[in-house]
Amino acid sequence: MGFGIQSSCYAVVTIFMVFSCYCIAHTRHHLYSNDRRSSRWRKLERNCDLSEGSWVFDESYPLYNSSACPFIRKEFDCIKYGRPDRLYLHYRWQPHDCNLPRFDGEEFLKRFKGKKIMFIGDSISLNHWQSLVCMLHAAAPEAAILLETEDSITTFTFQKYDVSVMLFNSQYLVDIEKEKIGRVMKLDSMKNGDIWKEMDVLIFNTWLWWYRKGIKQPWDYIQQGNITYRDMDRMVAFEKGLTTWARWVDSDVEPSRTKVFFQGISPSHYNGMEWNEPGERNCAKQTQPMKGSTYPGGWPRAMNVVSKVLSSITKPVYLLNVTTLSQLRKDAHPSSYNGFKGMDCTHWCIAGLPDTWNQLLYAALIH
Ligand SMILES: *[C@@H]1O[C@H](CO)[C@@H](O)[C@H](O)[C@H]1NC(C)=O
Ligand SMILES: *[C@@H]1O[C@H](CO)[C@@H](O)[C@H](O)[C@H]1NC(C)=O
Ligand SMILES: *[C@@H]1O[C@H](CO)[C@@H](O)[C@H](O)[C@H]1NC(C)=O
């Protein structure tokens, strides 16, 4: 599954109320750090591992009415595109040892007055970002929102609160450059870091594209140092690219200004073996999460790379450890209920699972 972020019509548009335009466990909220300045973050970690838990039915969810959020792209707007079941909207993540704080959008907007929050990554970041925009819009439905798009960046600004929630489209975080021989992915170059380091909150994600081959692969060569390769082991390339990002965090991020998050791997559901329904080839029939706290399909190998690279970073970086809690949500993908009619068991409906990712983000930010 892949779609670009720059679809249809964007322009600088001021949006007031009616917007038709649009023409983002056992999971540990883990602080990877040798830097002991951010004691408040450590406290959260010590008290409770938010990633260990299970999904419980809760009538008071979802957190907002998706039909009243005018920003949802056709890929994620499951109800609009005919999803008949509603059970998937009514689950709340319940950590074993504590409660996830309920999201307070108004408090969020007040607390982040004058701040810029940027999601950086592929269409999973787009999914995550769109959810946060809907959660904030639901808290302040009257607040004027300015939408701006410039190159790879799309920004929603809640003007009354002066809070910007931004998306930077980057499939690999590292650069792809057009050269004489073709498109070259540079595993040790990350030029956009100069833009990112000016933000107050950064939420990174990259994974979906690393195994893309054939016409879906957006590069022709892969380069590290002075050596140009036709291809290489993709897990090795992922680790090298992520390591470039990790070095950048250590060299360029100013921790007193910028909080850095990395989102763990977001799982897909195309193989029923993983959830004890061998024979299923997609998520089409799924209407409920898995019970319990463990996923039979196990831990994605890429998460070992993520853990290893994150633990090499000296500055504070926070892992949003969403993998297991998302694996349990085989019911939360759009499947065929989207505006392009393809079967999508990679992205997630909005409202839905990404709202929980944002609750984890919120919990980490307010503690
Ligand atoms: C993330 O969560 C999983 C499942 O809860 C856990 O096994 C793993 O250790 C956590 N990873 C990190 C790096 O905290
Ligand atoms: C959700 O919003 C839509 C559009 O504003 C409205 O028609 C509908 O009644 C709302 N649903 C609920 C459950 O509030
Ligand atoms: C890369 O090329 C430069 C200039 O040609 C050279 O100085 C450097 O040693 C080379 N680095 C490696 C790792 O080969």
Q: Determine the atom of ligand 1 nearest the C-alpha atom of 264.
A: 1
CB 29 less than 6 A from any atom of ligand 1: no
Check pLDDT > 60 for residue 235: yes
Ligand nearest to C-alpha 67: 2
Instruction: Give me the pLDDT at residue 48, please.
Output: 83
What is the rounded distance in angstroms from the CA atom of residue 30 to the CA atom of residue 135? 24
Catalytic residues: 123, 344, 347
Which of 95-104, 133-142, 245-254 is least confident? 95-104
Which tens digits make up the pLDDT trace of 163-215? 999 999 999 999 999 999 999 999 999 999 999 999 999 999 999 999 999 99
Mean pLDDT of 241-257: 98
Instruction: Give me the pLDDT at residue 46, please.
Output: 53
Q: Determine the atom of ligand 2 nearest the C-alpha atom of 65.
A: 1
Which residue's alpha carbon is nearest to atom 11 within ligand 3? 226
What are 174's two structure tokens? 């590292």
Question: How much of the chain, in percent, has pLDDT values that exceed 90?
Answer: 85
Mean pLDDT of 14-21: 33
Distance 311 CA to ligand 3 centre (A): 29
CB 274 less than 6 A from any atom of ligand 1: no
Instruction: Give me the pLDDT at residue 10, please.
Output: 35
Ligand nearest to C-alpha 137: 2
Question: Residue 279 — left, alpha, or beta (φ > 0 → left; ψ -120 to 50 → alpha)?
Answer: left
Check pLDDT > 50 for residue 30: no
Query: Mean pLDDT across the chain, nearest whole number?
Result: 89
Instruction: Give me the pLDDT at residue 367, please.
Output: 78
Distance 85 CA to ligand 1 centre (A): 31
Which residue's alpha carbon is nearest to atom 12 within ligand 3? 226
Which residue's alpha carbon is nearest to atom 8 within ligand 2? 67
Which of 8-17, 90-99, 138-147, 239-248 is least confident? 8-17
CB 225 less than 6 A from any atom of ligand 3: yes
Residue boundaries of the structural domains of the chain:
17-169+255-366
**Confidence band for 47, pLDDT divided at 50, 70 and 90:** low
CB 367 less than 6 A from any atom of ligand 1: no
Distance 182 CA to ligand 3 centre (A): 21
Instruction: Give me the pLDDT at residue 70, please.
Output: 95
Mean pLDDT of 323-336: 98
pTM of the model: 0.88
> What residues line ligand 2, using a CB cutoff of 6 Å?
65, 67-68
Instruction: Give me the pLDDT at residue 325, please.
Output: 98
Which residue's alpha carbon is nearest to atom 11 within ligand 2? 65
Which residue's alpha carbon is nearest to atom 9 within ligand 2? 67
Structure-derived torsion over alpha carbons of residues 164, 30, 101, 128, reported in degrees to the nearest 10: 40
Ligand nearest to C-alpha 188: 3
Check pLDDT > 80 for residue 9: no
Question: How much of the chain, in percent, has pLDDT values that exceed 70?
Answer: 87
Which residue's alpha carbon is nearest to atom 14 within ligand 2? 65
Mean pLDDT of 237-259: 98
